[in-house]
Amino acid sequence: MTDSTRHTASEMLAILSARQLREGQVVFAGIGVPLLAATLAQRLRCPGLTILFEGGVIGAFVEPGKLPPSTNDQRCTKRANMVLGSAEVLLLLQRGYVDIGFMGGAQIDKYGNLNSSFIGDSDNPKIRLPGTGGGNDISSLTNMIVAMKHEKRRFVDHVDFITSPGFIRGGNSRAESGLPEGGMFRVITELAVFSFDDTSRLMKVLALNPGITREQVQDNTGFDLIFDDQLSVTEPPTEHELTTLRMLDPDRLFIA
Whether the pLDDT of residue 1 is over 70: the answer is no
Query: How confident is the model over 208-238, as pLDDT tens digits?
Result: 999 999 999 999 999 999 999 999 999 999 9
Give how far Cα 56 sits from Cα of 28, 91, 141, 221, Å: 11, 11, 17, 36
> Any residues with CB less than 8 A from the CB of 82 and at least 6 apart, and which?
57, 58, 59
- Buried b or exposed e, range 88-121, using 16+ CB within 10 angstroms: ebbebbeeebbbbbbbbbbbbbbbbbbbbbbbee
- Cα–Cα distance between 34 and 29 in angstroms, integer? 6
Active site annotation includes 54 = yes
Q: State mean pLDDT over 238-250.
A: 95
In this structure, the dihedral spanned by the alpha carbons of residues 237, 240, 241 and 247, taken in order and rounded to 10 degrees, is 130
The residue type at 55: G
Q: What's the rounded mean pLDDT across residues 54-72?
A: 86
Q: What is the mean pLDDT of the chain?
A: 92
121, 96 Cβ separation under 8 angstroms:
no
124 or 20, higher pLDDT: 20
4 pLDDT band, cuts 50/70/90, is very low
Q: How far is CA 149 from CA 10, 20, 154, 173, 237, in A?
A: 8, 17, 8, 27, 17
Over the stretch 146-201, which tens digit does the pLDDT of each residue have?
Answer: 999 999 999 999 999 999 999 999 999 999 999 999 999 999 999 999 999 999 99
* Residues 207, 34: Cα–Cα separation, whole Å: 20
User: In the structure, what pLDDT confidence band is assigned to residue 2 with cuts at 50, 70 and 90?
Assistant: very low
Confidence of residue 71 (pLDDT cuts 50, 70, 90): confident
Tell me which of 11, 54, 190, 241 is the catalytic residue.
54
CB-based contacts of 223: which residues, under 8 Å, 6+ apart? 109, 110, 155, 156, 157, 203
